Structure 1
Amino acid sequence: MTQQTLIIRERPPIIRALNNNLGEELSFHAFDYYRGHVSHQVGDTVDSDFWGNLVLRLAPTDPAIRHAISAISLMYAEKTKDTRDPFPNYRPAIVEYNKAISAVRSWPLATESRVKPLLVCLLFVCIEFMLGHEHQNAAKMHILQGRRLLANIQDRKTPETDIIRQYLAPIYLRLAYVGNDRVNFPRHLLQMTTAPLKFASLADARCVLYYLVDIGFTLIYDVKSYRSNGVSESPNTEGEALQSRYKHIAHDLANWRHAFEAYLAFSDLDRPDTRTAKLLTQRHCLMLVFLDSMVSGSDYVCDRNSLSEFSIAADCATFTVKYDNEIMQGPSFTFESEVVGPVYWIAAKCRQPAIRRRALELLYEREKANRVESLTIVKHTIAMAKRVIEIEEEGLEIPKGTRPIQDYPNKYEVLLREESSEWAEGFLTDQKEQWPVLWDLGSHCSDIPTKLTGIAAAREQKELSEGLAKGWPRERLVWPYGITRERRVLSVVVKKHTANDLWLEYVREPLTAGGDYRVMKEHIQFI
């Protein structure tokens, strides 16, 4: 059986080791379990050389790497037990993690190697991901440290730089969705940053796509900063520069799609590689929508010209979930963000009833399969998506043949709900510090409340008037499916969370032009 499959292999006797105080023998069992099992499961098939080759080759060179591997193995075994314990025993793994941290502290201050620190940071990120969402800040810290190390590496042709370029830099690039601190990514550490006429491999296609996603994130943060300082209706140099950057990224994303389609047309992919291709297509489609909505500052974008992208992304997620359900046996964990976050965003932002319900159903299927993706908690994500749909569709007559949202399993109850027209001064800070809303292209928020909202509304009204004058039906022009501006949820902020409780804030449009944004607060408890 090759490393390219995701089939769960028979597990070595790691669980027995967990139940005994074996000292060094425990570490040996954990390392053996990593080599025989975890390295094949924790990443994507494209990364099999990293988890199953580079990590194992470098393990003998430093105790920090060895102890981190042991911690990952012990935690993976506990996290993927067939009987899900609400209070898993991570104590042996934490012991190994602390040993790894102690080993790092013993490094000389002026260590010459860049590969070891970069690798250890990634292993620590994996550990923090498995520890859960409460540890997101520690994960952010390790990612930021790694990206700062990368930013200081000069463009030289050395064996160490080749290792970084081939194995490490692409993973740091894909972690751009965690945290808000931006560190420019050095292009010389990536094997490829522009799309050719046809990609030669999935790895090349993924590298270019995530480079575009990364610079897209940088643009989005710059747009948010620009808006937070106030936006005027008259053109200005900074606004025009941001629009120019957006057009350039959109053009590069279009070129990526052409090169990727050409690669697929000439490739006979097996099912694991088809799964990877579907995930890349899903990310590309949603990045197009996300960038457009963020730069335009309008939720209208998600209805006007994005239905095709939402539909394709949902189909890709459907393939991935179905494939995983067929192949995987029992609970599993992946370092990657795969479908949970993107599918949540489809459910929250695509108002086409059938597509958003299909997205919600995929979340239920993912929960049933007990597959954990990076920092996600699927039951929390389901509750958030379902509540957004319930709020936006409340009192509406749904299309015939559409399943009522109330018919979907309800594993929570709303204990407290209050609405306020007050606008919290700390909203921008809240947005920056919130728990990741768990899709790897950013937060749920499509707009930060500024003067730009009024400008966008005026533009939409102008488009509506022009369309009506041409004889187009009103429902085809703006706010389709009956979900008008005042119904919409602009953003969901997780204020606090535990395993069984969520405290959410929903940011909604004003009821009157120029009015205050509405903030609705809820305490949700899982049954």
Structure 2
Amino acid sequence: MHHQRPVPKRTRKIHAPKVRTGCITCKIRRVKCDETKPACLRCIKWGGDCDGYASKPSQPPPDAIKKRLILPAAITEPLCRSPANSPFTNDLEYQAFQEFSQHTAKHLTGFRDSDIWSKVVLQASETDSCIRHAVTAIGALNFKDWVRKDNEKARLEFAYREYDRAIVGLRNAGPQADIRTKLISCILFACFESYHGNSETATAQVFAGIELMEQYSRQRLRPPSTTTEYVQQRGGPNSKSMPPLDKEIVETFMLFEIQSSSYSDGRTTDKHRERMKRFGNTVQKIPKEFTTLKQASSMLSRILLWGIHVRFTQDGTDFTPPSAASSEQLPPLLGLRRCTTVYAELAKAMNKYKQWESAFEPLRTKARRAPGSKLFNGVALLQLHCLSSYIWLAAGSPSRAMYYRKYTRYLREIVDLAKILNAQQTEGSFSLDFRTVLPLMIVSANYRHIAIRREVIEIFSSRPRREGLWDSALLGRIMGWVADIEEESVDLRGEEYVPEERVAEIVDIKQDAGTRSAFVTCRQGPEDGEGIMHETTLYW
């Protein structure tokens, strides 16, 4: 008897579910993703948050889709791009704005680690038309070759039209313009005026911005006087809380104040005393070690401003300048204004530079390993400014004998650093930031080392530059004229410095940007006694 083999029941083959079925985020976008990776590279490259791969083939709940926010990576980077074409009325405006965003912003930043031009200004230009017009005006200027302005009439006319639209736009905004718009406008207006040699107007913009910041800070820190105002400051329904000022804007105005104080500072002794106390408080605690260039630069600016206000406060109302002329217009950092009261405050300010240098040494050590790098150039720039501001502060001593022949090594190092930085500055002959011109001016105007001064004059004459408010061609002409007076008909063989009795102190400079001329007066003779007055008109 044959038995039939039982027919097995047909079974349904069940496959194990795939662990990875695709990135949830990519499924939502209906695109393919790389399922072999632990996270979707497409999403990572896009810049959003990847939800990873689903363990089940089910779709995410609708609420999750609605809450997900995918941001492009560019949002987290400095804004250095042009806005959409829509804000511009013609191609010329758009091209000038592109020039600013792609080239001028980097040029203005220089060796400093700052986001003011590549981020803060460009972001503000997308929402404020007056700022956008000012940016367009600056973008139309020839930063690559500031000295030669031939055949650029049409370009300059367009720049001035845009500049005028920026001024009118800010004026029309009136009180409704917020503090950020006003301060950025002051920065841009100062830049535009400095480029054209209108130093007085540029300085006025800087001091106006500083006054705006002081008023805003006083109002922001003022304690509430009423219960209603207290509730508002605490964040009530009609809250009028005032946010702190942008740090990049504050840092920029500190650098501007240093330049403006060097050119023309008409503020009262009380104002200098007030700001001396303010900056004195901010430099009480210097870190033992700076970790970034931005940190070191910020502290150095505060120390420098404190020293400036110490010297100008010390001058006081009883100070008698070398010249008795009532029309004296002496640039403060050019002249040898001396302390008339307590030397101790000046010594305290000078000691802060030593503390700063100690905290700066680790960055200097690191920069030496990478010559020519951005870090190297930034370190060289800050070291140059530290040394030059230190010897300028020392020149405020009660007598010339206390400083005159004591800083030869510093003078040599300042000139060497300036040469290194000038060799790296290939982007053009104009800079809004003070780099090498102001430090070299301090060397030649406050110290009369014969060989080093001639070297500085040669640098100024061979490579004309305008940095902020100062034109190296003009300074070279002034320093050359003074050197001829001090060295005339005198045998200086064997002399390292000009003898003290032959020093000719500059007591008056009147510039005319239109004719590119300056009327200069100096006084030659001993400190305490009658001297010989010299005057001339110089062209550059």
1:355 is aligned to 2:452: yes
Find the partner of 1:85 among 130, 146, 150. 150
Aligned to 1:67, which of 133, 158, 161?
Answer: 133
Q: Which secondary structure does the structure 2 equivalent of 1:61 belong to? A: coil
Q: Corresponding residue for 2:252?
A: 171
| Higher mean displacement: 488-497 or 383-392 | 488-497
Find the counterpart in structure 1 of residue 90 from structure 2.
24
Secondary structure, counterpart of 2:142 in structure 1: helix
Structure 1 residue 522: deviation in Å? 1.2
RMSD: 3.3
Deviations 1:58-113 (A, max 9, x none): 11111111000011111236x737954298552211111111111111224254x3
* TM-aligned CA distance change 1:81 to 1:484, over 3 Å: closer
Quick one: structure 1 residues 257 and 48, their matched pair in 2 at CA, closer, same or farther if it must change by over 3 Å? closer
Is 1:152 the equivalent of 2:234?
no
Structure-to-structure mapping, 1:459-474, within 5 angstroms:
none
Larger % of helix: which? 1
1:44 equivalent in alignment to 2:125: no
Q: Is the 8 A contact 2:506 2:520 kept in 1?
A: no
Q: Answer 1 or 2: higher relative contact order, Cα 8 Å, separation at least 6.
A: 1
Q: Judging changes above 3 Å, is the alpha-carbon distance between structure 1 residues 150 and 333 closer, same or farther for their aligned structure 2 residues?
A: same
1:115 counterpart (163, 180, 186):
180
Distance 1:97 1:255 in 2: 43
Is the CA contact (8 Å cut-off) linking 1:193 and 1:208 kept in structure 2?
no
Confirm or deny: 8 A CA contact 1:192 1:207 kept in the other structure. Answer: no
Given the alignment of the two structures, is residue 342 of structure 1 paired with residue 439 of structure 2, yes or no?
A: yes
- 1:323 counterpart = 2:421: no
Measured in 2, the distance between the counterparts of 1:393 and 1:87 equals 42
- Give the equivalent residue in structure 2 for 1:246: 346
| SS of the residue 1:180 aligns to | coil
1:343–1:161 CA distance, 2 compared to 1 (3 A)? farther
Equivalent position amino acid for 1:164 in 2 = D
TM-superposed CA distance for 1:483, in Å, is: 2.5
Q: Which whole-Å deviations, capped at 9, do the CAs of 1:188-212 have from their partners, x for residues lacking one?
A: 9x99874211101111111111111
Structure 2 vs 1, CA of residues 226 and 308 (structure 1 numbering), >3 Å: closer, same or farther?
Answer: farther
Matched residue, 1:313: 414
Q: Distance in 1 between matches of 2:419 and 2:241?
A: 41
Listed one character per residue, the Cα deviations across residues 206-251 of structure 1 (whole Å, up to 9, x for unaligned) are: 1111111111111111122254279xxxxxxxx8974332222122
* 1:243-322 map, 5 Å: 243-267=343-367, 269=370, 271-296=373-398, 298-322=399-423
Equivalent pair of 1:289/1:301 in contact (CA under 8 Å): no
Tell me whether 1:387 sits opposite 2:481 in the alignment: yes
My pick for the range that moved more, 213-222 or 486-495, is: 486-495
The separation in 2 between residues aligned to 1:303 and 1:228, in whole angstroms, is: 21
1:517 paired to 2:531? yes
CA distance in 2, matches of 1:360, 1:86: 30
Give the match for residue 485 of structure 1.
Answer: 500
Helix, strand or coil: the match of 1:507? strand
For 1:289 and 1:385, the matched residues in 2 are separated by 18
Closer, same or farther in 2 for the Cα pair 1:88/1:257, shift >3 Å? farther
Q: CA deviation at 1:492?
A: 4.8
Alpha-carbon distance between aligned partners in 2 of 1:191 and 1:303, rounded to the nearest angstrom: 30
User: Partner letter of residue 180 of structure 1?
Assistant: D
Alpha-carbon contact 2:461-2:476 (below 8 Å) kept = yes
CA distance in 1, matches of 2:303, 2:91: 45
Which secondary structure does the structure 2 equivalent of 1:388 belong to?
helix
Secondary structure of 1:523 counterpart: strand
Return the alpha-carbon distance in structure 1 between the equivalents of residues 497 and 282 of structure 2: 47
Q: Percent identity?
A: 20
Q: Measure the CA separation in 2 of the matches of 1:289 and 1:283.
A: 10
- CA separation of 1:44 and 1:163: change in aligned 2, threshold 3 A: farther
Cα deviation, 1:368-427, whole Å, max 9, x if unaligned, reads xxx432222222111111112111112233448xxxxxxxxxxxxxxxxxxxxxxxxxxx
2:27 equivalent in structure 1: none
Alignment partners' CA distance in 1, 2:435 and 2:296: 16
Distance in 1, Cα, partners of 2:524 & 2:189:
38
Query: In structure 1, how many angstroms separate the alpha carbons of the residues matched to 2:242 and 2:256?
Result: 21
**Aligned residue runs from structure 1 range 202-217, under 5 A:** 202-217=293-308
| Contact 1:170–1:207 (Cα < 8 Å) also in 2 | yes
- 8 Å Cα contact 1:490/1:508 also seen in 2: yes
Quick check: 486-495 or 513-522, which moved more?
513-522
Name which one, 1 or 2, has greater alpha-carbon Rg.
2
**Closer/same/farther in 2, CA of residues 28 and 342 from structure 1, 3 Å limit:** same
- TM-score, normalized by length of structure 2? 0.67
Equivalent position of 1:138 in the other structure: 201
Which of 452, 466, 469 is the aligned partner of 1:372? Answer: 466
Would the alpha carbon gap of residues 493 and 71 (structure 1) be closer, same or farther in structure 2, given more than 3 Å must change?
Answer: same
Q: CA deviation at 1:130?
A: 0.9
Among 519, 524, 533, which residue is 1:508 paired with?
524
Shift of the 65–110 alpha-carbon distance from structure 1 to 2, 3 Å rule, reads: closer
Shift of residue 259, structure 1, vs aligned partner: 0.7
Structure 2 gaps of 5+ residues are: 1-81, 83-87, 222-232, 234-239, 322-338
SS in 2 for 1:46: coil
**Aligned pair in 2 of structure 1 residues 129, 45: CA closer, same or farther (>3 Å)?**
same
| Number of equivalences | 405
Structure 1, unpaired ranges of 5+: 1-11, 13-21, 231-238, 401-479
Alignment CA distance shift 1:81-1:393 (3 Å): closer
Aligned position for 1:494:
509
Structure 2: distance between partners of 1:263 and 1:159 = 39
Pairwise CA distance, 1:360: 2.0
1:38-57, Cα deviation, whole Å (9 max, x unpaired): 11112323245211111111
Is the Cα–Cα contact under 8 Å of residues 146 and 430 in structure 2 kept in the other structure? no
Question: SS where residue 120 of structure 2 aligns?
Answer: helix
The structure-2 alpha-carbon separation of the partners of 1:181 and 1:495, relative to structure 1 and needing over 3 Å to count, comes to closer
1:245 and 1:288 mapped to 2: Cα distance? 14
1:449-468 superposed matches below 5 A: none
**Could you report, residue by residue, the CA deviation over 1:483-522 in whole angstroms, capped at 9, with x for unpaired residues?**
3233111225223435453321112225xx8543332111
Which letter does structure 2 place at the counterpart of 1:253? Y
Q: Matched residues in 2 for 1:196 and 1:212: separation? A: 13
Cα contact 2:314–2:340 (8 A) shared by 1: no
Contact 1:194 1:252 in 2 (8 A): no
